[in-house]
Amino acid sequence: MDPQNTQNPQNQGNPQGGAPIPPPQGMPQGGYPQGPYPQGGYPQYPPQGYPQGINPQGGYPQGPYPQGINPQYPPQGYPQGINPQGGFPQQGGYDMGMPGMGPMQPGMPPQGAPVPQPEDTTPANFQIGAKLPPKLSIKCPSNNLKFDEEYFIRLLASSISLSKDEKKKIVETIPKLRQEQIDELINIFEEEKEKFAALSKKHVPQLEKLAEQHYKDWMALEEEVAQEGKKKEDQSKADEIRKQLGL
């Protein structure tokens, strides 16, 4: 190779027909010269920006993108109607509407769709326990509490939140309850009646099914308690007879 060619920076060619010699790496002192770059390629970081179609390492420069380059996230935002990957734009980003219509308004059904009617929330005043007979056979055990025993038993029988066994257990534990406990139970049962009475008509069919089931359960409980009472009475009579006979 001719030493003069390697020492003269203005001679970019190879007299022997080889490839052009690239310019030296790095920024020369004083910056790059103005005007066209020497034949053989651009330096690594041209101050005019990257040539068209080039994707430099480390991302695109700031400012307008060169013609023909479509970066992934343009700073101007997505065009109207475009759904970028990762979700929809913020509310108000779409304003396309339907043919012959204005822009769609939030919460408004399409033109021609039936408008849903508001739900009727008028209380149906459903009374739980209405099927119970006027007289209930189950009585409160002997106790020292102050409360209306018949009213309490009717509230208990009317409840559709307790099972048959739970109601039976409450009756059996009345002698062990304190006054504040029996008062609290009455308040709970009264509140239950008020809440079910405040439900609208659409709940009535389900309430009727529940009330029917709990009515049957209570009547079965009354029969069960009556049978248990009869057994105790028969056992007591038998014990009295054996006692009289000296057995």
pLDDT of residue 154: 97
Confidence of residue 7 (pLDDT cuts 50, 70, 90): very low
pLDDT of residue 9: 45
Convert the pLDDT of each residue in 174-211 to its tens digit. 999 999 999 999 999 999 999 999 999 999 999 999 99
Find, among 127, 126, 130, 132, the residue nearest to 218 by Cα. 132
* Lookup: tokens for 218: 């209570």
Confidence of residue 172 (pLDDT cuts 50, 70, 90): very high
pLDDT of residue 112: 74
Convert the pLDDT of each residue in 231-246 to its tens digit. 877 777 777 777 777 7
What's the mean pLDDT in 210-215? 95
Convert the pLDDT of each residue in 98-118 to its tens digit. 455 555 556 666 677 777 888
CA–CA gap between residue 140 and residue 149 (Å, rounded): 6
pLDDT of residue 233: 77
- Residues of the chain with pLDDT > 70, as a percent, come to 55
Residues 6+ apart with CB under 8 A from 5: 11, 13, 14, 15
pLDDT of residue 116: 80
Q: Are 123 and 174 in contact (CB under 8 A)?
A: no
CA–CA gap between residue 97 and residue 103 (Å, rounded): 4
Cα 224 to Cα 72, 165, 229: the distances in Å are: 78, 11, 9
pLDDT of residue 156: 97
CA–CA gap between residue 188 and residue 178 (Å, rounded): 16
Q: What are 202-210's contacts with CB under 8 Å, separation 24+?
A: 202/119, 202/120, 203/124, 203/126, 204/124, 204/126, 207/126, 207/128, 207/160, 208/126, 210/128, 210/160
Q: Are 177 and 124 in contact (CB under 8 A)?
A: no
Mean pLDDT of the chain: 73
pLDDT of residue 150: 96
**Lowest mean pLDDT segment, chosen from 77-91, 111-125, 172-186:** 77-91
Angle in degrees, CA 125, 129, 131, rounded to 5 = 105
CA–CA gap between residue 127 and residue 131 (Å, rounded): 9
CA–CA gap between residue 143 and residue 232 (Å, rounded): 20
Confidence of residue 5 (pLDDT cuts 50, 70, 90): very low
pLDDT of residue 234: 75
3-state secondary structure (DSSP) of residue 46: coil
**Lowest mean pLDDT segment, chosen from 26-35, 113-122, 150-159:** 26-35
